[in-house]
Amino acid sequence: QVPVTESGGGLVQAGGSLRLSCATSVRTSSIDTMAWFLQAPGKELEFVARIKWNAGNTDYADFVKGRFSISRDYAMNTMYLQMNNLKPEDKAVYYCYRRDAVTTNEAVKQFDYWGQGTQVNVSS
């Protein structure tokens, strides 16, 4: 089993900030991409941001651009999501996602792993 563990959620007032962390281990040389998703109450899972593990390229959902920043500590195998100017609509469970790419017999196989989620609550 590949551990993917989120932390850093909590309660914050609107306009405040939180930093989420996602720690992983085991076969980290196979990591291709890590990302954050969220699931708001009664809604489907939604993409927030992703980072290419080796190159560090990032991509964001439009609704977080300018407010959230994804980063990673390559040596510590940890990904972060710095969330600034939080809004009540950002309230959700935030999930860490890891995609591995493994080359075997000239074919690339992908393996997906998810964390258990961390709750973010934003009061108005």
Q: Is the dihedral of CA 8, 10, 14, 16 positive or negative?
A: negative
Distance between CA atoms of residues 52 and 73, nearest Å: 12
Distance between CA atoms of residues 73 and 19, nearest Å: 14
Lowest mean pLDDT among 65-69, 82-86, 96-100, 103-107: 103-107
Give me the mean pLDDT over the 20-48 stretch: 96
| Residues counted in the chain | 124
Distance between CA atoms of residues 75 and 47, nearest Å: 25
Confidence of residue 54 (pLDDT cuts 50, 70, 90): very high
Asked if 49 and 61 touch (Cβ cutoff 8 Å), the reply is: yes
Asked if 44 and 38 touch (Cβ cutoff 8 Å), the reply is: no
Please give the residue that has the higher pLDDT: either 106 or 71.
71
